[in-house]
Amino acid sequence: MQPLTVEGLKKSVYTFIQKINQLDIPKLYGTTDGKAVGNYIEVMFNSYIKDSFTYEQGSAATGIDFPSLGIDLKVTSIRQPQSSCPFKSAEQKVYGLGYDLLILVYDKQDNRQNETARLDFQHAVFVNKERTGDFQTTRGILDMLAREANKDDLVAFFEERNLPLEEIGREVLAERVLHTPPQQGYLTISNALQWRLQYNRVITEARQGNVDGIENVFLELG
């Protein structure tokens, strides 16, 4: 078997979704727990690609699903497209999570007559790691830099945005931003013990196809 590549992963997601969209799934009937649905699909997908590729499977230690590719798989409902991810540092809001995201978005419908569920996958969005920063935080930084903001301005901005940093950390981050401005991010990232990621904006951008680094896998391969 051949090693899994990024393109191989995208193509596998595309063919997997064509298959899964036709299935009636008794185990998911009545389930409202998005995490349970996501885990079920991730297990099915890993089983699907194991027949064609060799790859390192993710673990709690690696923190992402495909560590050799630097990609994390997220499965979420169209009704509330969001999920959580481990908090590593406040800089993730500015410079991104540090890995790419492959986001599968489904609409779940239950069939009461035969007590099965069907998942209609409506979007498959690939987000380059440079685009995984917080939209409002990166937009604010880039606007400030365009207006010749200095270190003190940036430190004050980080404090206003409640970035989880001590004073010295805010100053270090401000220096980094001045020397290496971030790219515009497109996630909404809420502060918590784990980051809460919201995906409405990247779904919209994937539909429109205007942002380099955000791909609609269905359009690319369909």
In this structure, is residue 94 part of a structural domain? no
CA atoms within 13 A of residue 215's CA, in its CB half-sphere:
18
H-type alpha helices, the chain = 6-20, 34-50, 92-95, 135-146, 151-160, 167-179, 200-208, 217-221
pLDDT at 7: 95
Q: Do the Cβ atoms of 144 and 157 come closer than 8 Å? A: yes
CA–CA distance, 192 with 202 (Å, rounded to integer): 21
Same domain, 67 and 115: yes
In this structure, is residue 87 part of a structural domain? no
In this structure, is residue 184 part of a structural domain? no
In this structure, is residue 144 part of a structural domain? yes
Q: Structural domain of residue 155, as residue ranges?
A: 136-179
Q: Do the Cβ atoms of 155 and 168 come closer than 8 Å? A: no
Same domain, 61 and 76: yes
pLDDT at 61: 63
In this structure, is residue 188 part of a structural domain? no
Q: Domain with 52 in it: what CATH number?
A: 3.40.210.20
Same domain, 147 and 208: no
Q: What is the pLDDT of residues 75-112, one digit of tens each?
A: 999 999 999 998 999 999 999 999 999 999 999 999 99
Domain tally, the chain: 2
Indicate whether this model's pTM tops 0.85: yes
| Chain position carrying tokens 């349970």 | 36
Same domain, 78 and 58: yes
CA–CA distance, 95 with 133 (Å, rounded to integer): 5
